[in-house]
Amino acid sequence: MAVWARFQTKDGNTSFGTVANGQITEFSGDMFNNPTATGKTFAEADVKLLAPTQPTKILALWNNFKALGEKLGKAAPVHPLFLLKPVSSLAGPNDDIVRPKAYTGKIAYEGELCIVIGKKASNVSVEEAKDYIFGYTCINDVTAGELLNEDPNFAQWTRAKGYDTFSCIGPVIQTELDWASKNVVTMMGDQERQNYPLSDMIFNPYEQVSRISQDMTLNPGDCIAIGTSIGIGSIKDGAVTTVTIDGIGTLSNKLVG
């Protein structure tokens, strides 16, 4: 078991390492392929945590929780339904979510578990899939909801979810997570807005990685936002949204105008 983070030091350098008891043990090389300990340590309080991975793609699932599907009256899909979010939308722990200049409408939070891929995955089986998962982090899959159905002929998923800073991930990657026993808790300020069990997933992480690896090659560091459940709502301008999963931690981001 390990907890990995990317971070920036006070002198501006970007690095990564493992986190335990408030201390970061620095590594060099490739986080996903035999990184080497540098021998240096940092107090977690002395660094700024960054988005814990730099993916080549960010997939986001739709309709992957039974409770939300039932509420919306949507049948369970036969294959994971996904869109892509641009990598330019990535943000890290405590980064601001920035309201797009051209959009004055509602901006929604969606607290979710995020799979981080560890090995190049193409056509892997459900049984093999666990070996291709590096670990798990939290994601706030931010959405400019009013754009989604602006055009009657084409659902604008990528546009609504693709703005810079609309994919907040972190704070760390947990390599061993008993996800079936965990809940996703999303708070806006001091109000709990989502608290749903990951056991309610339609496609679990192994099924997702297997199925999606039939559709495209997944690369180390790639992210799969596994979908959200009930309780989606708007973020007030200036409010801090947190996404907490026990074993990973709390991802915190403020919406600024």
Residues that bind a second copy (CB under 8 A): 56-57, 59, 62-63, 74-75, 77-79, 81-89, 100-102, 122-123, 150-159, 162-164, 214-219
Least Å distance, CB 134 to a second copy, is 17
User: Diameter of the chain by CA atoms?
Assistant: 57
Using a CB cutoff of 8 Å and minimum separation of 24, what contacts does 41-48 make?
A: 42/7, 42/9, 42/17, 44/5, 44/19, 46/9, 46/10, 47/7, 47/8, 47/9, 47/10, 48/7, 48/8, 48/94
d(CA 248, CA 155): 33
Which is closer to a second copy, CB of 115 or CB of 245?
115
DSSP state of 146: G
Q: Which is nearer to a second copy, 79 or 130 (CB)?
A: 79
| Rounded least distance, CB 158 to a second copy, Å | 5
CB of 231 to a second copy, least distance (A): 20
Please say which residue, 59 or 248, places its beta carbon nearer to a second copy.
59
Q: Which is nearer to a second copy, 125 or 199 (CB)?
A: 125
Least CB distance to a second copy at residue 63 (A): 7
Contacts with 251 (C-beta within 8 Å, 6 or more apart), sequence order: 93, 137, 138, 139, 140, 168, 169, 170, 171, 242, 243, 244
Minimum Å gap between C-beta 206 and a second copy is 17
Task: Name the residue nearer to a second copy (CB basis): 83 or 240.
Answer: 83
> Which residues lie below 8 Å from residue 143, measured CB to CB, with a gap of 6+?
107, 108, 110, 160, 161, 166
Q: Which two tokens stand for residue 165?
A: 């800073």
Kindly state the smallest distance separating residue 16's Cβ from a second copy, in Å. 20
Alpha helices per DSSP H over the chain: 66-72, 126-129, 157-161, 205-215
| Integer Cα distance of 108 and 112 in angstroms | 13
CA-only gyration radius of the chain, Å:
18
By beta-carbon proximity to a second copy, the closer residue of 213 and 252 is 213
Q: What is the DSSP letter of 79?
A: S
Please, which residue, 28 or 149, has the CB nearer to a second copy?
Answer: 149
Shortest CB 180 distance to a second copy, Å: 25
